[in-house]
Structure 1
Amino acid sequence: MHRGSCVCGTVRYEIDAPIESANHCHCSQCRKGHGAAFATYANVRREHFRFTQGEQSVAVFQASPGVSRTFCQCCGSNLQWFAHEHYPNWISVTLGTLDTPLKNLEQKHIYTRSKADWYCLNDGLPVDDQN
């Protein structure tokens, strides 16, 4: 069981399935939405994710056609990313909001063609530029 929350603690959630991999997304929307060089997400099936507190404080931003991002209306923490049409049964959860430990995680960088020019990609993780 994994648990997570926003920075102010208004929104809390649980994931009742293993998290096995993470994507470090370098697309411009993730960079701007997180104010960082990239955003890190794990994909989980919708049925394994549930809000345990503060769901009414979760706002949805339509980032592009068919793609939404959620965040806490109180503190602005980014919580999820999902593509309604292409992946209706999956959501991507921001791993920075996890409160429980997560070890031995397979990781890769995606959308690196649009990465920040000031960020040096040299951590040895796989790069998937097919996205």
Structure 2
Amino acid sequence: MIDIEVFPPYKGSCLCGAVKYSVDKIEKEMAHCHCSMCRKFHGAAFATFGEARAENFHWLSGKENLKEYLGVNGSKRLFCNNCGSSLVFMSSNDSGECVEFSLGTLDSDIPNRPDAHIFMHYSACWNPVTDGLPQYSEGRGSAEKT
């Protein structure tokens, strides 16, 4: 296996390339979210998010192409209004200190790896999770699923 050296800033973009961003530092915790809203919004068994402090996340171009979806639970999701790529998630009690971004939109390799599965209570029955990472029934700090 070849070690790939990766250095910030890490770059990301939407599918059509209209929206671009960079991240100077990705925080340690990153999770696969299995909640029904993430599954539907991403069209997949789960969504994977990284987190950066707000001062380490920068929109490079296309910010005017961002559209916001407000969920019934008060969460917000930012996506490209041209291609629909999911870019950022904000919980209903978001303080603005951190930005949760979709790891699938990164164009750069990163040294970090997801460390948990969250909201497993809502996971798709057709996707058994067997990677050995901790699985939480709800968010981090909730009971681990056994």
Provide the TM-score with structure 1 as the length reference.
Answer: 0.92
In terms of fraction of residues, the more strand-rich structure is 1
RMSD over aligned Cα, in angstroms?
1.5
Are the counterparts in 1 of residues 26 and 51 from structure 2 also a CA contact under 8 Å? no
Provide the rounded CA distance (Å) in 1 between the counterparts of 2:110 and 2:14: 17
Consecutive unaligned residues in structure 2, runs of 5 or more: 1-8, 140-146
Q: Does 1:82 align with 2:74?
A: no
- Residue in structure 1 matched with residue 128 of structure 2 by the alignment: 120
Question: Cα distance 1:125–1:76, how it changes in 2: closer, same or farther (>3 A)?
Answer: same
Flag as ranges the 4+ runs of structure 1 deviating above 6 A. none
- Tell me how far 1:130 sits from its aligned partner: 4.3
In structure 2, what residue type is equivalent to 1:41?
Answer: F
Consecutive unaligned residues in structure 1, runs of 5 or more: none
Question: Cα distance 1:104–1:18, how it changes in 2: closer, same or farther (>3 A)?
Answer: closer
- Residue in structure 1 matched with residue 50 of structure 2 by the alignment: 42
Which is higher, the Rg of structure 1 or of structure 2?
Answer: 2
Query: For 1:18-76, what per-residue CA distance to the aligned partner results, in whole angstroms no more than 9, with x for missing partners?
Result: 34231100000000000000000012111211110100001011113431000001100
Q: Does 1:5 align with 2:13?
A: yes
- Residue in structure 1 matched with residue 59 of structure 2 by the alignment: 51
Q: 1:109 aligns with which of 117, 122, 140?
A: 117
Identity among equivalent pairs (%):
37
Provide the TM-score with structure 2 as the length reference.
Answer: 0.83
SS state of the match for residue 125, structure 1?
coil
